[in-house]
Amino acid sequence: MNKKIFLLLIAVLMAGIFSAFANDADTTAYLGDKKPKKEKPKKDKSGVRTGWTFGILPSIAYDADKGFQYGLLSNVYYFGDGSTYPEYLHSLYFEAAYTTKRSGLFRFSYDSKHLLPGHRVKLDVSYLPDALCDFYGYNGYQTVYNHGWANKKSEDYISRAFYKSQRDLLRIAGDINGSIGEDWYWNAGLGLLWYNIAPVNIDMINKGKKPENMLPDVDGMYDKYVKWGIISPAEANGGWHPYLRGGISYDNRDRLQNTNKGMNADFFLTYYAGFGEDKYANSLIFNASFRHFVPVYKDWIIFAYRLAAQLNVAGDAPFYINNYYNNLFIQRVLYEGLGGGNTNRGILRNRITAKSYAFANIEFRFNLCKFDIGKEHFAIGLNPFLDMGLILQPYRLDEKIITNNILQNDPDFDLDDLSDYIVFDESKNIYRPHLSAGIGLKLMMNDNFVLSVDWAAPFDKRDNGSLANIYVKMGYMF
């Protein structure tokens, strides 16, 4: 780990600790019926909160794929008369942030179990611009990944934007659930995704840079996939996609954050449609996930694992929809599969693009020590983990069709070099598991706030040519 990354981690850890104290501090205001009042929210002797509480905190994180994130966030809670504390009546969340690798985050979400009694309601509106979104082609190992092409220190260097594209995403989502009985729930959702997909805007990236730091204006992997007809014209530039979702879930976990025991399973279908000049999508996608938390020794050692799959059961979804990992009740900003900090740590983000896939996360969660600072309860944890991704339904890459498209649309390309991009005669490699392993450090406060620092490395260099795969986020990955 170089000096810059070490200093960055220290800064993020300090910001996280500051955020934890700020989030629990009495720097909040109570809003009366008519106008704001200056007094703080009321508390009884047991520390129960009433009324409104809020705080403005730094939005700081680090992701090996997205870079260092900086911005602001605010969480507003309403506890009413305090009778449901620590459960809130309403939660409003605001965040605006940007990363050093030109990925943006502008988000509002609302969460409540009391807007409709007996039901949980969640709304999410997010705009996520990404000037350098990862694109490595289709079918995992069937697409060749050449680390040197994007590494400026390599003799094979082409451009650090070679495996990138521009992707802007607007998401409007609403979800609701209700109890069926015992620990079973029904779920329903309605939403809209708008994607703007394009080649990297080289002029924008180069603006204000010194000549030696400017990116060359060359075709990247995304440009070649469009020219070669692998990405169809109907999906090449994105589109509008309303969706409808429904399913069931089982949940008997002892708590949602820093879970010690219990199981959670989700089974649901999502129907995507497309409209606009190029109607494309009309697909039905099935998702299943199972999370299990087993206490090995009280709450000091927990064995945790997640098994998940996303299957395209009907229709034909565009590649960017297949890269969007569906979730009930959106918690993280964006779930992408496969590869990256939300599915397969240590493997490049979107490295494994396919129509259907499965993945697993297995880890031990050790509590190394527990201590108090004032009235706050802290713990430091360590968790070694193993991640795996697997393609279930690949894209069909026909060598003859691709060759004909190259001759028509990319005549300057040397067909002898096609094997540097796609390995047609090793289709069995498509189904080979993508494995990675690593270790995480956790700082926990009051059993709900978790500051997480994970490091991971792939088993195969074809999944990532770098070992600087660090992810600094809030909460456990699952």
**Higher-pLDDT residue of 62, 8:** 62
Q: What is the pLDDT of residue 18?
A: 43
Burial of 239 (0-12, 13-18, 19+ CB in 10 A): buried
Give me the mean pLDDT over the 363-376 stretch: 91
What's CA 297's distance to the chain center, in Å?
31
Cis peptide before 338, with omega less than 30 degrees from 0? yes
Give me the mean pLDDT over the 135-155 stretch: 93
Give me the mean pLDDT over the 394-410 stretch: 95
Burial of 173 (0-12, 13-18, 19+ CB in 10 A): buried
pTM for the model stands at 0.85
- 209 secondary structure, DSSP code: -
Q: How far apart are CA 85 and CA 88, in angstroms?
A: 6
Confidence of residue 249 (pLDDT cuts 50, 70, 90): very high
**Higher-pLDDT residue of 289, 330:** 289
> For 60-112, how does the pLDDT look when each residue is reduced to its tens digit (9 = 90+)?
877 776 778 889 988 888 888 888 777 788 999 999 998 887 888 999 999 99
pLDDT exceeds cutoff 50 at 168? yes
> For 268-317, how does the pLDDT look when each residue is reduced to its tens digit (9 = 90+)?
999 999 765 555 668 999 999 999 999 999 999 999 999 999 999 998 89
Tell me what the pLDDT averaged over the chain comes to: 86
